[in-house]
Chains A and B, each alone.
Chain A
C-alpha cells in the first residue's frame, strides 16, 4: 500500500509503469491492474487556476484508512493513492489511484470505491480562480449519495 500527498507534479506514465511493475512482483498473484487519473478541468476556458488546501496529518490518516478499507473488501495485492495539493493549472494532474488484484472486477470496483471515498472523506478543499473571482468548490449532494453504493 502506498499513500503519497505532495505539492510536486507527478509523471502519470512513470507512476503507472512503476505500479504495474510492483503489482507483477513475484507471488503477488495479480492478473489485473486499474489506474485512474484526475485532472483539473478548464471549465470551458473559464478557470485560470486552482488551489488545493489539505490538513497535513489527517490527510495521510484518512487516505490510509480508505485504502485499508478497500483492501479489506477486495483481494488487492497493491493499492496506490497519490494526491497533490497547492497551486494547479487547468489540465494538471491532481491525483491518481491504482489497484491490483487477481481479477479485473475487484480492481475496477476497488478503484471506484477509492474515488468515491476520496471525494468526501479525505480532507482536501479546492478553490477555483476565474476572471470573475475566486470560489471554494462546494461539495455535491451526489458525492455523499455515492457512498451509499458501498
Chain B
C-alpha cells in the first residue's frame, strides 16, 4: 500500500488531498500511467509531467524512481517558497 499525497493545483484537479493505493507499478512513471487510465481527473492532473514534481518518502525524486518499499508518494507543481 502506498499513500499518495497531492498538493496545490494537483490536489484541486484530482479533487482530494490524499488517498491510499494498492499498486503493482514498478516506478513512479508506471504508477502515473495507471492513474491516468483510472479517471479523467487523473489524466488532467498528470497531462504534462514537466509541470510536476514528485517526492518519494518526502525526498524529491525523478519519475523513473522505483516504488519498491516506498510508503509515501507526493505530487505537486514546482515549489514557490520564500
Contact = CB atoms under 8 A, between A and B. Distances in A.
A25 interface: no
Interface residues of B, number: 17
Given A55-B74, A121-B60, A137 B80 contact: yes
B79 to A, nearest CB: 5
Interface string A74-86: 0000000001000
A139 B77 contact: yes
Contacts of B5: 55
Given A55-B74, A136-B9, A83 B81 contact: yes
Interface string B62-78: 00000000000010111
A124 B78 CA distance: 9
B51 to A, nearest CB: 9
Contact of B76 (A55, A121, A138): A55
B77 A118 contact: no
B42 interface: no
A139 B76 contact: no
Nearest to A126: B80
B9 A119 contact: no
Which of A115, A121, A123 counts the most chain B CB atoms within 10 A? A123
Which of B5, B58, B60 counts the most chain A CB atoms within 10 A? B58
B14 interface: no
A125 B82 contact: no
A39 to B, nearest CB: 11
A109 to B, nearest CB: 17
A83 B82 CA distance: 8
A125 B58 contact: no
Which of A58, A83, A115, A119 counts the most chain B CB atoms within 10 A? A58
6 closest A-B pairs (Cβ-Cβ)? A139-B78, A124-B81, A125-B8, A58-B58, A122-B81, A119-B82
18 contacts: A38-B82, A53-B7, A53-B8, A55-B76, A94-B82, A120-B80, A122-B79, A123-B55, A123-B79, A125-B8, A125-B76, A126-B80, A127-B8, A136-B8, A136-B77, A139-B78, A139-B79, A144-B78
